Amino acid sequence: MNKVFSILALLWMLAGTLSAQTVSNLQAGIDCLRTGQRVWNAALMEKARLEFSAEARRCPGDYVPLYWQSVSEFYLMLYYGLEDSAGYDPVKAKMLLGSAERTMNAALDVRPQEAECHALLSSVYGFRIVMHPLSAIWNGPKVLFLQSKALETEPDNPRVCYVIGAGYFRAPGFVRNVAKARELLERANRLFDEKPALAVADQPQWGRTECKGMLGDVYREEGDTVAARQFYQAALQINPDYTPAKRGLKELEDEKSK
């Protein structure tokens, strides 16, 4: 009996050690991703992505590393896929889309009702439409289904509203909807402001800066330079390194001086 008890105790201690190591590795990846987002550094975001991928392999069926890998791949899609990004590289963006789709689908296999992953996956198909507009014929219905599912499941999740609103704003001309983008981004901004960033280190904090910065872009496009300036400044209060808001303010000043 004592031998059996000793073996069980050893297994319990080993499981606890592995669990603590997983938490530690995940937190290191989250911290790395947040730094990479803040300073817009692909190497750091790639490093975080690899850490999450390794944890997902070590802990099959665990949603958390798959979720964070999905977030890291979403930001890398922005880094490589947006023309105004310092790292714009359509070849890398296209290569990343397949991996992101697999990761997000794997996360949804574990937790089918997770709204943020539905929204993130909609952005993958949205990027495919941007790259190949004719693919809207088959990718468009996927985008709409995933967006609808995300908003139905968690209508008050600010990250869901931000990702979907950003998708409407970045979409190609024939499916672009600035009014719908503004509506969703305003909702996301209000929800972000109602739910201040938590002090819990491993909880999602992403989307706040980008939401405010994109609202600056929306209002600038609509001709409301006062609101645009306010949102750019609000984005920079959260992240003083946020390049899109810096660029937006500079362009507003350049336009004013003409």
Residue spans of the domains in the chain: they are 207-258
Residue 222 is predicted with a pLDDT of 96
Q: pTM to 2 decimals?
A: 0.89
CB atoms near residue 188 (< 10 Å) = 28
List, for residues 28-75, the tens digit of each pLDDT value: 999 999 999 999 999 999 999 999 999 999 999 999 999 999 999 999
DSSP readout, 205-255? -TTHHHHHHHHHHHHHHTT-HHHHHHHHHHHHHH-TT-HHHHHHHHHHHHH
- Read off the pLDDT of each residue in 138-156 and give the average, rounded to a whole number: 97
Q: What is the Cβ-side half-sphere exposure of residue 201, based on CA atoms within 13 angstroms? A: 10
pLDDT digits over 205-249, tens only?
Answer: 999 999 999 999 999 999 999 999 999 999 999 999 999 999 999
Q: Is there a contact between 62 and 68 (Cβ–Cβ < 8 Å)?
A: no
| 32 in Cβ contact with 44 (< 8 Å) | yes
The single residue listed with the structure tokens 């991928």 is: 53
State the pLDDT at residue 255: 84
Q: In whole angstroms, give the CA distance from residue 18 to residue 29.
A: 16
Q: What amino acid occupies position 128? A: R
Residue located via tokens 């947040």: 34
pLDDT digits 0-9 by tens, 79-133: 999 999 999 999 999 999 999 999 999 999 999 999 999 999 999 999 999 999 9
| pLDDT value at residue 254 | 87
Q: What are phi and psi of 18, to 5 degrees?
A: -65, -40
Given a cut of 80, is residue 198 above it in pLDDT?
Answer: no
pLDDT, one tens digit per residue, over 132-146 is 999 999 999 999 999
Expressed in angstroms, the distance from the first to the final Cα of the chain is 87
